[in-house]
Structure 1
Amino acid sequence: MKDFDSLVGIWNEQKTAPQVDHQKIIDQYKKSREKLSLKFWKEILLMLPAFLIVVYLWFTFSFDFWTSYLGLIMVAACSIYFIVVQIINLKNIADSNTLFDKPKDHIQFIQKFRKSRYIQHTRNYKIYTLFLGLGISIYFIEFFYTLNVWLMIGVVGATIAWFAVCYLYLMKIYINKEEKKFTEMIDDLERLNNQFKDEA
């Protein structure tokens, strides 16, 4: 009988889910949010110089072809779009303060935010890349008539290679890292929410 009681005790211990440290998960979640916000700020600060270079080119150089101005407008529009999207993302994170009031709603917010980010990285990024590539291509028409042929081929080849590396390789790494971070955040919050349910 004693052995049976011991076996039941061991079985119950295995069935019981380990308690999570509330404060540890909350601190970890806050750090994840801060890192995400910091990433958005870095991307804004990296895009600003690109936009300022386009503005500088517009007002400093006198181009022979109207296509150069059209190309610059398209590149500037892409830069502005990127900055605006990141500002919206920052605002969404700043406005999401439902963690302590309504944890379940907050988990839904993170899931919705994750979905919107995935759309930005896939469908929207394709349109953004196409528009940016077209803008740069139109801008290059000006140099087709002035640069050495081999130099022009080198510049165009390097630009296409850079777009290919970003689209086919770097963007996949970027998406995977962000998806992993969102999964960790959601898993932690769901564990915390489930534990509060168990304790209620």
Structure 2
Amino acid sequence: MQAFDQIQELWQKHEVEVKFSADEMLQQAKKEVNGLKLKSALNILGMAASFIAIVALWIFFHFNSWTTHVGISITIITIGVYTIILYRDYRLISRTDFTAHPNEYLNNLKTYQINRYKLYNTLYWFYTVALSLGIIFYFIEILSLFSLIQKVIAIGLTFLWILFCSTILRKAVIKREKERIALLIEKFERISQQISTP
């Protein structure tokens, strides 16, 4: 039994240092960067599809009230501006070859992190207010065609959806993306250190 205790004590004192080469870290970072790019591209495609769908609705359906046209215009402009912002951030992380220029990519990634923080905090509330205003103007004509129960259901579901997206979903997305970008920045900092030290 004493031999077992000595072996256990020796094992606990023994520290194993695992070192990855810069190439291994770059391969791992490449996988994560591609995932980040894909997610950003899918966000842009989703916003573009929403933009096209609302424009098609505006073109192919006849609306009588000027408020509906104002509501759709506000919504289209809001989605268009937000899509341009998403595209600008996408270009920031996709235009530099991170395998050839890890330091430059690290700087771009830090800028991307700051932009995403602004997007999910300040800019998100402008987006939500503008979309809500667009929906309110749009609903003035549309809700006049509904019965009282349908009006209550439409307004209630819209309010609950905006509330859900603004609280639970937004917080989960922010947390996941913040961790993912911070981990990627940490990896690129380690890669830069390994490359700069012999």
Structure 2-normalised TM-score?
0.84
- Following the alignment from structure 2 to structure 1, what is the Cα–Cα distance between the partners of residues 45 and 103? 34
2:180 maps to a residue whose letter is K
- Following the alignment from structure 1 to structure 2, what is the Cα–Cα distance between the partners of residues 85 and 134? 20
Residue in structure 1 matched with residue 151 of structure 2 by the alignment: 152
Alpha-carbon offset, residue 54 of structure 1: 1.4
Q: Deviations over 1:17-69 (max 9, x none)?
A: 64322222101111111111111221222223322221222122222210000
Residue in structure 2 matched with residue 64 of structure 1 by the alignment: 64
Structure 1 unaligned runs (5+)?
A: 1-9
Residue in structure 2 matched with residue 117 of structure 1 by the alignment: 116
Percent of aligned positions that are identical: 24
How many residues align? The count is 187
- Following the alignment from structure 2 to structure 1, what is the Cα–Cα distance between the partners of residues 108 and 57? 41
Q: Deviations over 1:158-197 (max 9, x none)?
A: 0010000001011111111111111111111222222334
Residue in structure 2 matched with residue 172 of structure 1 by the alignment: 171
Native 8 Å contact 2:54 2:72 kept in 1: yes
Counterparts in 2 of 1:146 and 1:107: CA distance versus 1, 3 Å: same
Moved over 4 A (4+): 14-18
- Following the alignment from structure 2 to structure 1, what is the Cα–Cα distance between the partners of residues 159 and 53? 20
- Following the alignment from structure 1 to structure 2, what is the Cα–Cα distance between the partners of residues 172 and 180? 12
Residue in structure 2 matched with residue 100 of structure 1 by the alignment: 100
Native 8 Å contact 2:93 2:108 kept in 1: no
Q: Deviations over 1:61-102 (max 9, x none)?
A: 22221000000011111221232222212211222236534x
Residue in structure 2 matched with residue 21 of structure 1 by the alignment: 21
Alpha-carbon offset, residue 155 of structure 1: 0.2
- What SS does the corresponding residue of 1:100 show, helix, strand or coil? coil
Residue in structure 2 matched with residue 46 of structure 1 by the alignment: 46
Counterparts in 2 of 1:104 and 1:51: CA distance versus 1, 3 Å: closer
2:88 maps to a residue whose letter is I
Residue in structure 1 matched with residue 87 of structure 2 by the alignment: 87
Native 8 Å contact 1:143 1:152 kept in 2: no
Native 8 Å contact 1:40 1:86 kept in 2: yes
Structure 1-normalised TM-score?
0.84
Residue in structure 2 matched with residue 129 of structure 1 by the alignment: 128
Residue in structure 1 matched with residue 55 of structure 2 by the alignment: 55
RMSD over equivalenced CA pairs, Å: 2.3
- Following the alignment from structure 1 to structure 2, what is the Cα–Cα distance between the partners of residues 189 and 79? 33
- Following the alignment from structure 1 to structure 2, what is the Cα–Cα distance between the partners of residues 87 and 129? 19
- Following the alignment from structure 1 to structure 2, what is the Cα–Cα distance between the partners of residues 82 and 195? 38
- What SS does the corresponding residue of 2:197 show, helix, strand or coil? helix
